Structure 1
Amino acid sequence: MPPENHTFTTFPIASGGFCKRCNRGHLIDSGSALPYGRFLLDQLEKNKRLDLDIADDQSDFRFTLAPLYGPSRGQMFGVLICRRQDGVSGMLKAFSGQFNGVWEAPGWVPPLLDVALFQRISDPVDQMIKKLGKEIEGLETDSPQRQELTNHRRELSRNLMREIHDLYAVTNFRGETEKLSQIYRGSGGMPTGTGDCCAPKLLNHAARHQLIPLGLTEFYLGRENRSSTRHHGRFYPACSEKCQPIMGFMLCGLDREHG
């Protein structure tokens, strides 16, 4: 619970998207999540580690926040305030993508995919792609074999990406579950990392556990990103490229729950 005198952002931020299932848009705003988001930001800055629920002497070195201020740059974090079926409210928190190469951390909602299955599928192909890369580097630029290997590597990458996308499934607040590839409504192909942002992780976890979202907020922590569109300590809506094209489906049914 954030202290009463805690300072926090007060402007509302809404995120959402269009749902082709019901042919309308769905939104969720920051609601009651803003003070909790600010409180989480302060706790992360103070403790300088991700595993906030673990005693200092048991903290995992992989969860230090130091990399967020270096060449790897910062990361998005999110908070979702939810109400259980019995009326009790609580807070869920998430980090975008992987943190320092780790998919899961104690006290944070899990990713949309089965991590063990993801590794079984991707690790062998990643090794093949790296091996091809080394072979390509050793060939002349105009070598026919170089072009052949380059095309083979590109095809391996495309096939792997399709397999990875098939691992992602989301549940909405009508209790419906679909693969991301079935609900993505962006122009062109689905970008790498779709489904790995904070908002999809939080909403999916809430829907699967029959929790009713009351407010969603996200902030950036660490060194600004390379395009200078994300700055430390600032709050942002869910991204337009990866989140908005799937959030319409994910939020579908929430208005019914609120009603």
Structure 2
Amino acid sequence: MDPLVTALEPAPRADEVPGAFPSPFDAVGPHALARRAAESLKATLREGVIAPGLDSDVLQGPDGGKMFGVLVVRRPNGTFGVLRAFSAMLAGRWDVPGFVPPVFDREARARVEPVADATVKALLARAEAWSASEELRRLREDDDARQAREAAEREAMRLRHEARRRQRHERRAAILAMQRRTETERAQAPHALNQEPTAHALTETERAQAPHALNQEEPTAHALTEAERAQALHALDQESRGDKAEKRRWDAAQEEARRQLAPARAKAERRVRALDRLRRIVSRGFMKQFHDTYAITNARGETRPLRSLYGGAEPPSGAGDCAGAKLLAHAFAHGLQPVALAEFWWGTPPASGGRIQGAFYPACRDKCGPLLPFMLEGLEVSAPRVFVPPPAPTPELSIVFEDAWLVVIDKPCGLLSVPGRDASLLDSVLTRLRSRYPHATGPLLAHRLDLDTSGLLVAALDSRTHASLQRQFLHRDVAKRYVALIDGPVQGDSGTITLPLRVDLDDRPRQIVDPVHGKPAVTDWEVLRREAGHTRVAFHPRTGRTHQLRVHAAHPQGLGAPIVGDPLYGHAGLRLHLHAETLSFMHPATGQRVSFTRAAPF
């Protein structure tokens, strides 16, 4: 009898055993039998022990948590048991007592791994040594100092030239004003010449004082001759050319300094990148050798190389090391019939978010999508269940406001904003609005709410109103306030969350945090009330990314706790406790600011 199979207590009744193996890609959740087996493992992890000498505290550190899996199996004698596994390595170990071993051929891996580790570590050490070298440090410091000095000098010169430019403008304006005044006086001179003596010409001393006089608040009382005016304007032009010449000389000097320092630094930086690129190339080569140590067997007893299951593409890193693959491989190798599988996360969430301790998750599409279907060939497998919304929660839409141009709706939880592609997903807010307003050129939704989110939605009844509302959403002129019940305590009373988001390509529609490829997502929040084990929070989203509030709540760099009832980022419940409470915008027809509020139903 396999010592890794633990008894499933109490023994399941016949009606508790699934007729076909539930799909590991089932998005609704694991089978009740597998869920019961998983809860037993969770209880052990809560006690702080993974195995003798290995505490579960290792899952709470900076390296983060781990996916665990359980597989309910039927022994040849008809009794039921449970296998346990973790993804990849645990605390740097492939083998942990009580958990199934890895899938790869140990002897084959032993021939590759030492050479691979030594080679990659040597390349990594070279890259790190050069990155920390005195030569590179000096080049970086000298070039950084040069850039800082250049920036400071550039700014000082800009300010200096700007001040001179203002002075020249004032002096030029004074000269031109004097010229206009002189011309006006000359136009009025015929009568005055018969009454008063002509103004005397400037003396040599007066001419010498003229430039200074032009800089005073009061213009000089004496007019400049045409030659003197031209000379003064020419002097101003010369000053302007002097500033430009100074800028050209300074630019040339900086270019010379850059030629002396920047190329040397760039060459050194290229060496760092080249060493890192070489390490990645070598690592990929060794990864192919690692993948060749995996022979995958299915329920019919057929065996194929791991790399052959990915359609000619290289398997992703970690392929074959997920908990589900380990469990099935061990069951087939020991004559055990798989009955039901469950995988869950335990420990600190990953940096990208999307995982909560204790929550169940389907098998990943990236690594396991091509792998598990082959392993399950020979078993009767249920089709993965997809979400089908419950019957419409209300027969009629709850209309908050309507006029000739738009309508505001209080959407209930469980009703789609727009119809889905599947025939079972046709009921939606938009479908019902089109039935209510059959003669309108709309209706057109200006925005959407998730299926599980309740609250205020605005729809336009004509295209012009729709375009105006969409512009307001685009320019963030629409004020939105959401209320949520958070499943746990929240540190602080208010703040702003800035975590960029993108879709998880391996697990749509789940969103993850990605500082490199994610789109900016910003949420302001404030605590409204602290309740027993929960926190009521108001959200003011500045952007409108998919699942933004749900991810920002659950992520450890956000609020650090999911919204109550969130099946994707927390724990499923009767409903998602997220409600769009307030909506405020400029009415496209009247130009007046309008605001609507509907209190949360929880």
What band does the TM-score fall into relative to the shorter chain?
0.7 to 0.9
The aligned counterpart of 2:369 is 244
TM-score (ref. length: structure 2): 0.35
Structure 1 residues 66 and 116: CA distance shift in structure 2, 3 A: farther
Match of 1:24 in 2: none
Contact 1:103–1:115 (CA under 8 A) maintained in structure 2: no
CA displacement, residues 78-99 of structure 1 (integer Å, 9 cap, x when unaligned): 1101112221211111111111
Q: TM-score, normalised by structure 1?
A: 0.78
1:13-36: per-residue Cα shift (whole Å, max 9, x none)? 74259xxxxxxxxxx953521111
For the residue of structure 1 that corresponds to 2:50, the secondary structure is coil
Q: What is the aligned counterpart of 2:378 among 234, 240, 253?
A: 253
- Between 1:104-113 and 1:116-125, the stretch displaced more is 116-125
Look up the match of 1:67. 58
The answer to whether the aligner puts 1:30 opposite 2:61 as a matched pair is no
Q: Report what 1:231 is aligned to.
A: 356
CA 221–154 in structure 1, closer or farther in 2 if over 3 Å, else same: closer
Aligned match for 2:303, one of 177, 181, 184: 177
Deviation of the 1:126 alpha carbon = 2.1
Q: Alignment partner of 1:162: what SS?
A: helix
**Residue 112 of structure 1 aligns to a residue in which SS?**
coil
Aligned to 2:24: 15
Deviation at 1:145, TM superposition (A): 6.0
**1:16/1:248 contact within 8 Å kept:** no
Structure 1: tracts of 5 or more residues without a match: 5-12, 18-27, 52-58
Structure 2 counterpart of 1:200, from 302, 308, 325:
325
Shift of 1:168: 1.1
- By relative contact order (CA 8 Å, sep 6+), the higher-ranking structure is 1
Judge conservation of contact 1:16–1:251 (CA < 8 Å) in 2.
Answer: no
SS at match of 1:35: helix
User: How much has 1:130 moved relative to structure 2?
Assistant: 2.2
Distance 1:37 1:146, change over 3 A: closer
Matching residue within 147, 152, 156 for 2:282:
156
Residues 225 and 231, structure 1, Cα contact 8 Å, conserved in 2: no
Letter in 1 for 2:81: G
- Correspondence list, 1:81-230, <5 A: 81-115=72-106, 117-137=108-128, 138=130, 141-143=266-268, 149-184=275-310, 188-230=313-355
Unpaired runs of 5+ residues, structure 2, are 1-7, 12-21, 137-265, 382-602
Residues 193-214 of structure 1: CA deviation (Å, up to 9, x unaligned): 0111110000111112221111
Identical-residue share of aligned pairs (%): 37
Distance 1:74 1:149 in 2: 31
Partner of 2:49 in structure 1?
49
Q: Which moved more, 1:165-174 or 1:84-93?
A: 84-93
Query: Compared with structure 1, are the counterparts of its residues 245 and 86 closer, same or farther at alpha carbon in structure 2 (3 Å cutoff)?
Result: same
> 1:67 and 1:49 mapped to 2: Cα distance?
10
Cα 1:176–1:73 shift into 2, 3 Å: same
What's the secondary structure of 2:370's corresponding residue? helix
Please provide the CA RMSD for this pair.
2.6
Q: Distance in 1 between matches of 2:127 and 2:352?
A: 30
3-state SS of paired residue (2:88)? coil
How has the CA–CA distance of structure 1 residues 121 and 223 changed in structure 2, closer, same or farther, with 3 Å as cutoff?
same
Q: Distance in 2 between matches of 1:205 and 1:31?
A: 22
- Name the SS for the 1:142 alignment partner: helix
Q: Which amino acid aligns with 1:30?
A: H
- Distance of 2:111 and 2:333 partners within structure 1: 25
Q: Deviations over 1:163-210 (max 9, x none)?
A: 00001111111110111111135x953110011111000011111222
* 8 Å Cα contact 1:173/1:250 also seen in 2: yes
Indicate how the Cα distance of structure 1 residues 99 and 147 shifts in structure 2: closer, same or farther if over 3 A, else same.
Answer: closer
Cα deviation, residue 2, structure 1: 5.0
Shift of 1:132: 2.2
| Greater C-alpha radius of gyration | 2
Letter aligned with residue 159 of structure 1 = G
Mark the CA change 1:31 to 1:206 in structure 2 (over 3 Å): closer, same or farther.
farther
- Tell me, what secondary structure is at the counterpart of 1:195? coil
**In the TM superposition, what whole-angstrom CA distance separates every residue of 1:57-92 from its partner, at most 9, and x where no partner exists?**
xx32xx221121110111011110111222121111
Q: Which residue identity lines up with residue 15 of structure 1 in the other structure?
A: P
Aligned to 1:55: none
SS of the equivalent of 2:77 reads: coil
- Distance of aligned partners of 1:30 and 1:74 in 2 relative to their CA distance in 1, 3 Å threshold: same
Post-superposition Cα deviations, 1:193-242, rounded to whole Å, max 9, x if no partner, equal: 01111100001111122211111011111111111111101111111111
Asked if the contact 1:95–1:198 (Cα under 8 Å) also holds between the matched residues in 2, the reply is yes
CA contact (8 A) 2:307 2:314 kept: no
